Amino acid sequence: MPKSKFACELCHKPLRNLGEAKAVHDRTCPGFKALHIQSVAHIHQHLRNAAQAPPLHADPVGAVEVPQMVVQESEAPVLRPSGLPNRRRRAPAKLKDAAPPPPPRIRGVIRPLPMETTMEIDSQLSSIPDPEPQPQKWIRTEIDAFGLYKVYPQRPTHDPDSHITSQELYKVENPAVVGLDNFPLPKEPWFYPFPNASVAHMIKYHIEEDHAGSIGAFDRLVQNVLQPNEEAQSDGVDLRELPMPFSTKKFLDDLDKKGIEPLGITEKWKQGSVALKLPCVGREQKESAAPEFMITDIHYRPLLDPIKEVLQGPLFQKFHTTPFSLRFIPTTDDIPLPHADAELDSNIWGLPNLPAGHEEVFGEVYSSAAMLEAYDAIPQPPPPQSPDDPVESIVVALMEWSDATHLAQFGTASLWPGYTFFGNHPKDFRGKPSSNAGFHQVYFPSLPDAIHDAYRQHYSCDMPDEVFTHLKRDLMHRIWDLLLDDDFMDAYKNGIKIKCWDGIVRLVFPRFFIYGADYPEKVLLATIRSMGGCPCPRCFIQKHQIAETGTVNDMKRREVIRVDDHPRRSTIEDARRAIFENGSAVAGSSINRMLQAKSWVPVRNAFSKLNTETTTFNFYTMFVPDLLHEVELGVVKAILTHLICMLQTFKNVGEFDSRFRQVGTFGRSVIRSFGSNVSAMKYAAARNFEDVLQCILPVIEGLFPDHQRLIDQLCFELAVWHGYAKLRMHTTSTVEIFRTATKDLLTSIRRFARETASVKTYELPREERQRTKKAAKKAATLDQQAPVPESQPTASVNDAQSKPKPKPKPKPKPKPKSKTTSKFTTKSAPVPPPVSLPVPPPAPPACACTPACTRTLHYTRRVSYYGINIP
């Protein structure tokens, strides 16, 4: 049995902890009883000695006449109608909010001298011998009212926190301010993309008029289009401006191609195309000689465009150019702050080590260890010799997001946009739509149906499903090859000189920090198999080891992480040669022997080009946890679904819905009204599951006869974990508490799976309808493939014997039990597995290759390296 690290100081008995366990132990501790008896005896002895001591002899004094004091009668207090005295009313101290102080700031920010002054100083000091080079010293700010202070690796040239106003600190709503008002106006005229206003009026009439051939429509054409009309906002059509021959189809095509582009940036969007190599089983050919299928009309912006737009525009006002370490002193009176000139040990980034009693604060990308590491790795330029020379080197933290979405409830219209944000901006700023801090970067297309025809034309056979899946993966990375063009790669390796909004020229190095996506897109970008043998995009934990998440053995396995190294890329190239040159199947046995052990796929990852000898980069560290998809739509939904299945067994679903309808709203969209039945989960979004989790404890009271205490504990620990995961700022101590809460939650989940295994649950009505609909669709497909039977005579309406007998209503099927995961994870719709976090050495890394029940451990490891979850 392992030795406990806690023990009683009086009797040396091992303790589980120094909290509740110690309080229970003190009641029966023999050492504590002996100490108590000794203390009581000492007090009695002291009292006896004091009683036996002789009285002190005082000098005799004569009678002293005490003057009589005149006491004035006080006036009767003024009373209120209630009978209470009329005193001044003050709000209790607990209701007084502390005024938020401004962030810690550098006093006297040093800006570079003008070039003429710098050259004069250099000429005057040319005769003085050069002193020994001094090491670059860190800069520390003063402590604010909350005990926060910053430590910079060098004095910053631009500090956005020094310009924060009280309006921004208090977050007071100002309807008049909708965003930055100094953005440049669009260069395009209002009638873009048409050549002139006359053509725009004609096409507008063609689109908006429902009955163009009617008499009224012809009158409107003359009154509102051909002649000037202020009400219709028409300047009139000049027939001389209409190009002849007039082609309505040509102008409508231009509107479809260019009309989706926002005004002001039309010259920055590009249309590209990529070529996909088509493999075929049994066809031996070089990959370069394989037939190609072109994907055209890919709308994208070069990655350097939003970087220049931010640095050269008003968004630079909130842009942090120099990273820092944010630290916290819990008690400023007891713990002194080391002097700035003191000789202190430094860490690998040149910052002083964390003093005893201080804590690190994690909340932003620009104050994270990853940002400090990237900033320390870039080269700083030499002293400027001309106005065009850069003054300093900075890191631009790129944060990418992508998520496919449906544009309508009916039909197949969909969109797959990609966004770019910057980690140098505060999360509260970039999370506001009015800040305009996000940029549309690319629109990912899907594979067209015509690719099947092209494949059949080249190989005279239908395309296998595994080839179609392979081409979908390849398409994503070939589009990223478009974005990672030569200009961006040159800026990534050597930097790019940009004159920023404040007039200072800086050498900019773009770096990728975060790629936010759900699990299907993460495996697509990480080039691994979805729910394969090693389903995690970050580590190699196998699927059968999922149930051990959070244990000691599991933490040891997480230390083996995925790395984009030469052996991995060499294996991918061997697999591609086998597919094209040997004619092997994409999912055949020969390819599986090479790739299946680590769940790799034969696709070249576009982000591998960022990993060079001078710029090391592991793209597996980009994929961060997604609280919305993986927890609220994953863990919370899975647990809630299984609890509803249990309530259905206990016949308490109606009471469950009735109690939720009685829960009131709170705040502005904090807790919304539960109008419909929660058990139905119709059109439930992530925010709805979050509200259910926060309000479920009083609702489920007494609804589970045999497992009430266990379910209460599970829901409480899940709500606590979710609250810690939602914190926008963490400290060293809260991260430790977060890790403890994570282990407690995972332990409760395993216990819940064991003790509720005997409860026989059935699928929900919604799941039953989905299963029936899927089975009917499958049966219809099989009927179409079967031979058509001969037509039969129609039965008579009056023939009672011809009426078919009503089929009995099918009973819901019992839920199957999972062999590799906890029981409750199989009682809901399929949930994507979790994703792990990048962790700096030497801390044990985190993994997220677990299904919904264990998708929680990774947040606790990530906050100390990359910052907190992203809005």
CB 639 within 8 A of CB 649: no
Rounded Cα distance, 287 and 150, in Å: 54
β-pair partners for 275: 294
Return d(Cα 617, Cα 797) in angstroms, integer: 76
CB 681 within 8 A of CB 656: no
The answer to whether the peptide bond before residue 705 is cis (omega within 30 degrees of 0) is: no
pLDDT of residue 244: 76
Contact between 866 and 620 (Cβ < 8 Å): no
With 80 as the cut, is the pLDDT of residue 190 above it?
no
CB atoms within 10 A of CB 255: 16
pLDDT interval class at 547 (50, 70, 90): confident
Q: What is the pLDDT of residues 625-664, one digit of tens each?
A: 899 999 999 999 999 999 999 999 999 999 999 999 999 9
Distance CA 788, CA 794 (A): 17
What are the structure tokens assigned to 43, written together? 């007090």
Predicted confidence at residue 65, as pLDDT, reads 54
Q: Which residue has the higher pLDDT, 92 or 846?
A: 92
User: Would the pLDDT of 335 be above 50?
Assistant: yes
Classified as helix, coil or strand, 346 is strand
Structure confidence at residue 228 as a pLDDT band (50, 70, 90): low
Give the whole-angstrom CA distance, residue 13 versus residue 9. 8
Pairwise CA distance, residues 260 & 506, whole Å: 34
Question: Parallel, antiparallel, or unpaired: how do β-strands 392-402 and 505-516 relate?
Answer: parallel
Q: Are 367 and 481 in contact, with CB atoms under 8 Å apart?
A: no
Give percent of the chain above pLDDT 90.
46
Residue 466 has pLDDT above 80, yes or no: yes
* Residue 2 near residue 14, CB atoms below 8 Å: no
Count other Cβ atoms within 10 Å, centred on residue 314: 15
609: pLDDT confidence band, cut at 50, 70 and 90? very high
Whole-model pTM: value is 0.73
Euclidean distance between CA atoms 584 and 804, whole angstroms? 53
Helix (H, G, I), strand (E, B) or coil at 358: coil
Higher pLDDT, 303 or 789: 303
The answer, yes or no, to whether residue 123 has pLDDT greater than 70, is no
pLDDT in tens, 735-783: 999 999 999 999 999 999 999 999 999 888 888 888 898 888 888 877 7
266 vs 422 pLDDT, higher one: 422
Residue 250 has pLDDT above 90, yes or no: no
Distance, CA of 1 to CA of 16 (rounded, Å) = 13
Mean pLDDT along residues 701-715: 94
Q: What is the pLDDT of residue 681?
A: 87
Mean pLDDT, the chain, integer: 79
Q: Which helix (H) or strand (E) holds 647?
A: helix 636-650
Residue 644 confidence (pLDDT)? 94
Question: What values do phi and psi take at 859, rounded to 5?
Answer: -70, -35
Residues present in the chain in total:
871
Query: Cα 268–270–275 angle (5° rounding)?
Result: 155
- Sorting pLDDT into bands at 50, 70 and 90, what band is 303? very high
pLDDT tens string 41-93: 878 777 777 767 665 444 444 444 545 655 566 677 778 777 777 777 777 77
